[in-house]
């Protein structure tokens, strides 16, 4: 196979994988904010989120496969599966390897969402934040495209947008908890319980 074609395939698939991952993370964060509550028929939001994540994994497979076929870097299975075992920019590559494992864990638990406990799924899903960070560091530190101004602007802009959405998500979660506590306190105030657990009307 033409080495130039393999090299361009590796670079392009890596960029596309990061773009799809970024889209999945941003879309997931959007879904967790109150902005998504204004959208009707929200089922398609989740479908798109899953599609972007699955697409990112597909292009990661293409990215790693093309690296294995490349005759310039001479990567073997050990170098693409075990961090810090290669001689070509080991640190930058290690970020990508860890990100790959996190992505696989997220996709597997998403496919098994109906089987695994909800708490396990939610905790695993929080790995999307370090996953995005590691993939972004890998993209900025590895490869010849890291010097591209357009690519760096894209990386920084998306990272900024993700940070804004994380703050919005935190605010939304805090408001939801506060509303739930207020509603609970209001219900308990209307229906106090006697010693036997029976509800008594609130006296005036």
pLDDT (tens digit, 9 = 90+) per residue, 178-190? 767 777 777 776 5
Spatial separation of the C-alpha atoms in residues 165 and 17, rounded to whole Å: 21
Residue 193 backbone phi and psi in degrees, to 5: -105, 140
pLDDT tens digits for range 78-99: 999 999 998 888 999 999 999 9
CA angle 115, 124, 66 (to 5 degrees): 100
Helix (H) or strand (E) holding 28: helix 3-31
pLDDT of residue 200: 46
Which residue positions in the chain have pLDDT lower than 70? 1, 34-42, 176, 179, 189-204
pLDDT of residue 16: 96
Give percent of the chain with pLDDT exceeding 90.
Answer: 45
């Amino acid at each position: 196979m033409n080495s130039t074609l393999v090299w361009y395939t590796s670079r392009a698939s890596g960029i596309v994988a990061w773009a799809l991952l970024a889209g999945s993370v941003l879309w997931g964060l959007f879904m967790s904010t109150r902005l998504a509550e204004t959208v009707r028929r929200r089922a398609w939001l989740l479908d798109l989120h899953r599609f972007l994540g699955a697409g990112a994994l597909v292009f990661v497979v293409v990215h790693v496969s093309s690296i294995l076929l490349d005759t310039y870097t001479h990567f073997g299975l050990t170098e693409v599966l075990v961090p810090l075992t290669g001689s070509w920019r080991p640190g930058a590559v290690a970020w990508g390897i860890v990100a790959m494992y996190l992505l696989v864990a997220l996709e597997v638990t998403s496919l098994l969402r109906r089987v695994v406990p909800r708490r396990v799924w939610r905790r695993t899903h929080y790995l999307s934040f370090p996953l995005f960070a590691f993939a972004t560091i890998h993209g900025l530190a590895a490869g010849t495209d890291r010097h591209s101004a357009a690519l760096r602007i894209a990386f920084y802009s998306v990272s900024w947008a993700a940070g804004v959405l994380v703050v919005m998500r935190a605010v939304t979660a805090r408001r939801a908890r506060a509303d739930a506590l207020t509603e609970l306190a209001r219900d308990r105030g209307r229906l106090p319980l006697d010693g036997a657990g029976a509800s008594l009307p609130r006296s005036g």
